[in-house]
Amino acid sequence: MEIERKFLVRELPKDLEQYPHSELEQGYLVRKGATVRIRRDGDRYILTIKKKPKDVTDRKTLELMRIEIEEEIDEDLFQRLSAYTETPMLCKTRYRIPYGDYTIELDLYHGVLEGLATAEIEFPSVAEALVAEIPDWFGRDVSSDHRYKNSNLSELTSLESLD
């Protein structure tokens, strides 16, 4: 189970290059209902399936929670599946920034989304996600704004499309 909150970034942290980071490339094979994604993260290749849980009725909980299955795949399968993505590949640099007991995943997008920066934090419970203190450099919480889901971002042709 994945429980996370996603934020726009108001200001980038100082000395960003000190944090571990990698270049990500991801594409979506299915974006309706369950999301099926392929991702290259450095020299790792991952197939991910995400779906909202059926047994959760609380709307706020449902916005933060996803069933997630991840499996490593090889580069050959990644390349073959790349031909079947529904939208262009999404490219971004991901920084992994320690924050107390958590890790912030800061994504700086490239290509048509150049200039967009988002930050996500995964939590062990919905209760913790709802009360956790967030860094000052975070902006608006977009956890429930479907426009900022990566599967939707992948179909945009410009940042202006988000307005």
Instruction: Note whether 89 and 104 are within 8 A (CB).
Output: no
**28, 45, 95, 109: which is the annotated catalytic residue?**
28
The per-residue pLDDT for range 98-109, each reduced to its tens digit, is 999 999 999 999
* Contacts of residue 34, Cβ cutoff 8 Å, sequence gap at least 6: 49, 50, 51
Is 28 one of the catalytic residues? Answer: yes
Task: Tell me what pLDDT residue 57 has.
Answer: 83
- Comparing CA positions, the residue from 67, 96, 70, 69 lying closest to residue 2 is 67
Task: Tell me what pLDDT residue 38 has.
Answer: 98
Which residue carries 């988002």 as its tokens? Answer: 118
The per-residue pLDDT for range 101-153, each reduced to its tens digit, is 999 999 999 999 999 999 999 999 999 999 999 999 999 999 999 999 999 99
Domain containing 122 equals 2-162
Q: What is the mean pLDDT of the chain?
A: 94
Q: Is residue 115 helix, strand or coil? A: coil
In the 3-class helix/strand/coil scheme, how is 129-160 assigned residue by residue?
HHHCCCCCCEEEECCCCHHHCHHHHCCCCCHH
| Total domains present in the chain | 1
Strand partners, 138: 9
Can you give the CATH number for the domain in which 65 is found?
2.40.320.10
